[in-house]
C-alpha cells in the first residue's frame, strides 16, 4: 500500500525524534568519555565538528546514490554568535543530477519542552524553510518532476518508489540531532545529578573472595581483642615528609608508622593457634635476570628445598614478554616500543631461553614443571591460558591455600603487583621473604617497606623455615594433587574470568 503524505510525515517525525534522542545519548557519552562534560565551550566545538563530519558523509552518500529527490536529515550545530545559543539543522537534498543544496532551519531557542522539542522544531521549520526561493517539495521525499524512473507517481505502488522510500527511512534512522545545545548540556547535568543522588554503585562482599574470613578468626578475635588500639601503629611528627603546597591547606601534623600485622605466623593477635595452608611462589627468578637475582639465591634455595621435602605446593612463574610476541599494552607504551637509546626495553626478554628458571631453583620433574607459568603480567593472578581461563587463583583454591610465601623478582614490579592483588582482591595472607627478593632498580627496597606496612608480613628465609619446622601441626596439607592441571578442576571459583 502506498504511503500517504500525512503518514509519511508522521513516520519522518517519529524517526527523527527517536534517532535524535539516540544520537544525543551517544554523543553525550562520547563527550563525557573524552572529558568534555564539564567544559561547555569544548563540547559545543566538538558538536560542530561532529556535525561537519556528518554532513560531509551524508552529502557524499547522496551524490553516489543516484536517488532522485531524497531528503536526508543530518546534524548541523552552528554556534553563530559564539555563545552556544544557536542551533541549526541542515537537510541534504539530492537532485536528479546529483547536486546538493542545504535547507537551514530557524533557531529553536524558543522550544523548552524536551519531550516535544524535536517534533515542534520539525513542524515549525518545515513551514518556513525554503531553498533558492522555492518551497520544500511535498511530500518530503519527492522532487520535480514527481515521478520515479519508471514514470509512476511517487505515491503509487511502484516497487522502485517503495525501494526509494525504504532507503530514505533507513537514512532517516541514522539522522542526527536537531535539538538545542542547551538540551545537550541539560542532559549531561541531569545524568550527573542523577548519579550523585543515587549514591553511585554500592560494592558488595557477598561473592568477594578478598572479603572472606578464610582463617575463621574474626569472631574470636573481636571477642578477645575488641576495639583496642593497634599495637603495630606508632604516631610520628610530619617533618616535611608530606609537604604543604598551599598555606590555607596545610598538610597533616601527624603521620603513622605501621609494622606488620602478623609478627607471629603461628598465632593471632590474641594468641589463638593459626593452622596455615602454605604455597611458595617463586616469581621470575630466571636466567636472563641472573646478575640481579644471584645474590639472594642461597636464601631462596632454602625455601624451595623445604617445601619440596614436605610435599607443600610450589609454583614457578617466568616473565615471558618479547618484542615480537604480538601483544601491546600499557606497559609497552610506558617503556616505549624499542627502549631508550642503547638501553634494552625492560618490558621484553632479549636472551634466548631467558625465561627459564635459574638451575638451582628450577622444577626437577614433570609434576613440578606442570606448575610453571610462562607469565605475561606483573600481577601473576592476571595470567590467562589459551582459552581465557585464570591459572594461578584456581590452582591455589584447589589446594586450599590461605597463605602465600612470596619471593623472587622484581620487587617494585611483579612482586608488588602480585602482593596487592593477592591480599586485597583475593584474601590471601602474604609472607614476603625479604632476603629472597631482587630487583634491577634503585626502588626495590623502598617497595619492601611500603608493602610490609600495607598488606603483607615481612620475614627472612630462615624465619619462615624455622616457623614451619617448629609448628608441624599448624602446617596443613594440600587438598588436591600437586599438578598444575588442578586449575581446570570443578572447584567453585569466584572472581575469575572463565
Domains of the chain in start order, with CATH, are 5-197 (no CATH), 218-231+276-320+355-488 (3.40.50.850)
- The predicted structure's pLDDT at residue 282: 99
DSSP H or E stretch at residue 12 = helix 5-33
In terms of Cα–Cα distance, which of 182, 172, 56, 9 is closest to 107?
Answer: 182
Instruction: Enter the DSSP assignment of 63.
Output: H
Beta bridge partners of 438: 409
List Cβ neighbours of 321 (8 Å cut-off, separation of 6 or more). Answer: 327, 331, 347, 348, 349, 376
- The x, y and z cell numbers of residue 329, run together, are 599494552
Instruction: Enter the DSSP assignment of 286.
Output: B
- The predicted structure's pLDDT at residue 146: 38
Mean pLDDT by 10 residues, the chain (498 residues): 50 52 61 66 66 58 48 46 42 39 35 33 35 32 36 42 43 41 53 58 84 81 72 85 91 85 80 93 97 97 98 97 89 75 75 94 96 97 94 96 97 96 96 96 90 93 97 96 88 40
In terms of Cα–Cα distance, which of 362, 348, 279 is closest to 319?
Answer: 348
The pair phi, psi for residue 174, each rounded to 5°, is -105, 20
Report the predicted TM-score, pTM, of the whole model to 2 decimal places. Answer: 0.60
- The predicted structure's pLDDT at residue 216: 81
DSSP H or E stretch at residue 258 = strand 254-258
Amino acid at each position: 500500500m502506498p504511503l500517504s503524505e500525512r503518514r509519511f510525515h508522521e513516520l519522518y517525525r517519529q524517526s527523527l525524534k527517536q534517532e535524535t534522542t539516540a544520537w544525543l545519548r551517544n554523543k553525550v557519552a562520547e563527550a563525557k568519555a573524552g572529558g568534555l562534560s564539564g567544559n561547555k565551550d569544548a563540547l559545543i566545538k566538538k558538536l560542530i565538528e561532529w556535525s561537519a563530519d556528518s554532513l560531509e558523509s551524508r552529502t557524499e552518500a547522496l551524490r553516489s546514490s543516484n536517488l532522485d529527490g531524497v531528503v536526508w536529515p543530518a546534524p548541523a550545530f552552528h554556534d553563530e554568535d559564539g555563545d552556544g545559543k544557536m542551533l541549526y539543522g541542515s537537510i541534504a537534498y539530492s537532485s536528479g543530477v546529483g547536486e546538493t543544496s542545504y535547507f537551514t532551519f530557524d533557531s529553536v531557542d524558543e522550544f523548552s519542552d524536551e519531550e516535544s522539542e524535536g517534533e515542534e522544531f520539525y513542524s515549525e521549520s518545515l513551514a518556513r524553510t525554503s531553498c533558492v526561493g522555492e518551497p520544500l517539495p511535498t511530500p518530503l521525499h519527492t522532487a520535480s518532476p514527481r515521478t520515479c524512473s519508471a514514470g509512476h507517481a511517487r505515491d503509487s505502488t511502484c516497487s522502485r518508489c517503495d525501494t526509494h522510500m525504504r532507503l530514505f527511512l533507513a537514512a532517516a534512522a541514522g539522522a542526527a540531532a536537531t535539538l538545542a545545545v542547551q538540551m545537550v548540556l541539560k542532559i549531561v547535568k541531569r545524568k550527573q545529578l542523577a548519579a550523585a543522588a543515587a549514591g553511585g554503585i554500592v560494592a558488595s562482599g557477598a561473592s568477594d573472595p578478598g572479603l572472606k574470613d578464610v582463617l575463621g578468626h574474626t569472631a574470636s578475635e573481636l571477642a578477645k581483642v575488641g576495639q583496642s588500639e593497634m599495637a603495630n601503629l606508632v604516631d610520628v611528627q610530619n617533618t616535611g615528609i608530606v609537604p604543604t603546597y598551599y598555606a590555607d591547606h596545610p598538610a597533616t601534623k601527624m603521620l603513622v608508622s605501621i609494622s606488620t600485622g602478623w609478627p607471629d605466623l603461628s598465632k593471632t593477635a590474641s594468641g589463638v593457634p593459626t593452622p596455615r595452608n602454605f604455597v611458595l611462589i617463586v616469581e621470575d627468578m630466571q636466567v636472563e635476570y641472573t646478575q640481579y637475582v644471584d645474590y639472594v639465591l642461597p636464601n631462596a634455595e632454602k625455601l624451595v628445598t623445604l617445601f619440596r621435602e614436605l610435599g607443600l605446593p610450589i609454583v614457578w612463574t617466568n616473565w615471558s614478554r618479547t618484542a615480537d610476541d604480538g601483544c601491546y599494552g600499557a606497559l609497552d607504551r610506558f617503556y616505549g616500543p624499542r627502549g631508550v637509546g642503547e638501553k634494552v626495553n625492560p618490558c621484553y626478554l632479549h636472551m634466548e631461553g631467558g625465561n627459564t628458571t635459574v638451575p638451582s631453583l628450577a622444577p626437577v620433574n614433570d609434576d613440578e614443571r606442570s606448575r610453571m607459568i610462562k607469565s605475561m603480567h606483573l600481577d601473576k593472578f592476571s595470567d590467562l591460558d589459551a582459552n581465557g581461563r585464570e591459572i594461578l587463583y584456581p590452582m591455589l583454591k584447589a589446594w586450599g591455600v590461605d597463605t602465600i610465601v612470596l619471593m623472587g623478582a622484581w620487587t617494585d614490579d611483579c612482586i608488588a603487583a602480585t602482593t596487592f592483588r593477592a591480599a586485597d582482591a583475593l584474601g590471601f595472607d602474604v609472607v614476603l621473604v625479604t632476603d629472597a627478593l631482587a630487583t634491577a632498580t634503585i626502588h626495590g627496597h623502598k617497595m619492601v617497606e611500603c608493602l610490609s606496612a600495607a598488606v603483607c608480613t615481612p620475614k627472612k628465609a630462615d624465619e619462615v623455615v624455622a616457623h614451619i619446622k617448629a609448628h608441624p601441626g599448624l602446617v596443613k596439607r594440600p587438598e588436591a594433587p600437586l599438578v598444575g592441571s588442578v586449575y581446570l578442576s570443578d572447584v567453585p571459583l569466584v572472581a575469575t574470568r572463565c
